[in-house]
Amino acid sequence: SGLDFLKTTLMRALDPAKATEILNNITTPGEDLGGGLDTVRMLDPKVVANFLSNEHPQTAAIVLAHLETGMAGTTLREMPEETRMEILYRLATLERVSPQVLRDLDEALQSEFRSSGAVSGSKMGGVEAAAEIMGTIDRATETSILTAMDEVDPDLANDIRNLRFTYEDILKVDDHGVQMILKEISQEDLLISLKTGSDELKDKIFSNMSERASSMLKEDLEAMGLTKITEVERAQQKIVSVVKRLEEEGRLVVGGGGEELV
């Protein structure tokens, strides 16, 4: 059972006294207070991944949604490759989980998940959570998962990709990369996109242009009239798409999860 698994794991991984203390704090289903999820958080991601590998992908998604994003990402990376996409897909489409489902999961894991008690259930998961978790894993794993998801739900895969890199994240690109981006985009898209850009981002763009080009762009920005926010967002998204293409082609490196570059 889940409880036997936890007992065995804790006794091997922790001091016996500490393990006993934790086990004594694990409440049974039906009690008001619990700390079972804290126990899961104390385990090594590899141990959690091994345990979840034998569970239904929906169960794994709910557990990952409760974990800190860094640990969730590491756990997902340790999962079998053939199940990663399914778990992330379920996590991304996970919105509300009923208290009854949480109680059923509680029985399986022999730990208590605290729920809001509201009829609507507890809010967890979603595209944002999936994107955050993806941000903690290496590029190869991320690409593998999203490529597989493209076959199942391309719109959802793109939603996750869009959240993985935003227009303002151009600040994370080095000067050489910014100059490469500027060569690939139109002056019109650049001008419109900067309409709502931060001062810091504008300065980064200006500093990677010639003095004459930067001066002209500043003048155009000052003379620019009111612009529909949808047009600004469209221009920004076009630039983000260029960044992603350059990254996929291996011509551009954007900060993110994975091994440190040296």
Strand partners, 122: 97
SS3 186: coil
Domain topology for 166-248:
Annexin V; domain 1 (1.10.220)
Strand partners, 123: 96
Domain boundaries defined on the chain: 2-152, 166-248
Written out in words, the top-level CATH class of the domain with range 2-152 is mainly alpha
Spatial neighbors of 99 by CB under 8 A, at least 6 apart, are: 115, 116, 117, 121, 122
SS3 97: strand
Spatial neighbors of 255 by CB under 8 A, at least 6 apart, are: 169, 172
Residue 112, pLDDT score: 34
- Residue 224 in tokens: 């620019």
Domains 2-152 and 166-248 equal at CATH topology level? yes
How many of the other CB atoms lie within 10 Å of CB of 4? Answer: 9
SS3 96: strand
Spatial neighbors of 186 by CB under 8 A, at least 6 apart, are: none
Tens of pLDDT, residues 2-29? 445 556 655 666 667 766 655 554 433 3
Tens of pLDDT, residues 181-228? 999 999 999 999 999 999 999 999 999 999 999 999 999 999 998 989
Tens of pLDDT, residues 30-45? 333 344 455 677 778 8
